[in-house]
Amino acid sequence: MRQIFLDTETTGLSADNGDRIIEIGCVEMLHRKLTGNNRHIYVNPGRDSHEEALKVHGITTEFLKDKPKFSEVADDLMDYLKDAHVVIHNAPFDLGFLNMELALIGQPPVKEAVASITDTLVMAKELFPGKRNSLDALCDRLEVDNSGRTLHGALLDAELLADVYINLTRGQEALLMDDASAVDASGHKMAAVDLSGFVLPVIQANAQEMAAHEGVLTQIDKDSKGKTVWRALESAALG
C-alpha cells in the first residue's frame, strides 16, 4: 500500500475568507516503510499571513515572494498524490484549503485523485476519548520525538504524523488482510496459509486478570465522562 502523509501551512484559518496555502509537506510510505520520496513545496499566496498564523509557522511574506504560485505546482502535486492513500491530521482543515486552491484553477477536489483519505484526529479520538489529541499531544503520548518542532513546518509535521500513525496502528492495518496487502517487510507477497483446520484453545481470564481489565474499563469510562458504549449497554440491560 502506498500512503502519503500530508500537512499544510496557511496564511490563516479560513479558506472561505481568502486565506491561502503557503507550504505543503508530503511523506511517502510504501508497505509501512518510509521511501524518502517526499515533497516539500513553498507557495507564494499573494497575500500576507495573519499575525497569529505567522507566530505559528514563522514563514514571512518576504521569504515567499519568489516562490511559485499554487497553479504552478498543482499538476506535480496531484500526480504525486494520484491513487495514494492519503493520511492527514485534522483532514477537513487541510482538504478545505487544498480543494479551494484546486477550485480556483479549475481542478477537481483531492478525493477524486486519491484512493482514500484517513484522518488521524478521528482515529485518535476513538482510541483516546476525552484526551487531548493534537499532533504534539500524540507525540508525547506515543513517545515520538518532536523536540525539533519549535515552529510548525509542513514537512516536519508530515514526518511526525507518519511516526504517530505507525504507533497508532501498532504495526498492522487490520486483523485480516487480503492477498493484495499480504506482504512482508521487504514488500514481497506472502503465501496464503489456510487456518481453517486449526482449533484454537480458549483460555479463560483468572480473577486477577479480570480485576485488572475492569480497572482499565473504569479508567476509560472516567476519561470519557461516562460516555462509553458498554456502560450504556449495561444500564439499558439493568433497566
Domain range list for the chain: 2-179, 207-238
Residues labelled catalytic: 152
What is residue 178's predicted lDDT score, i.e. its pLDDT? 45
Residue 207's pLDDT is 87
Other CB atoms within 10 A of residue 19 CB: 20
Model-wide pTM > 0.75? no
Q: What is the pLDDT confidence band of residue 47, given thresholds at 50, 70 and 90?
A: very high
Query: Where is pLDDT greater, at 34 or 213?
Result: 34
- Provide the pLDDT for residue 217: 81
**CB–CB of 205/213 below 8 Å?**
yes
At residue 182, the pLDDT reads: 47
AA letter at 148? G
Of the candidate ranges 28-42, 46-60, 71-85, 186-200, the one whose mean pLDDT is the lowest: 186-200
Predicted confidence band at 181 (pLDDT cuts at 50, 70, 90)? very low
pLDDT tens-digit profile of 123-141? 999 999 999 999 999 999 9
- The yes-or-no verdict on residue 164 having pLDDT over 80 is yes
Q: What mean pLDDT do residues 219-229 have?
A: 78
Query: Across the chain, what does the average pLDDT equal?
Result: 86
121 Cβ contact list (under 8 Å, min separation 6)? 89, 90, 91, 133
Question: What is 2-179's CATH number?
Answer: 3.30.420.10
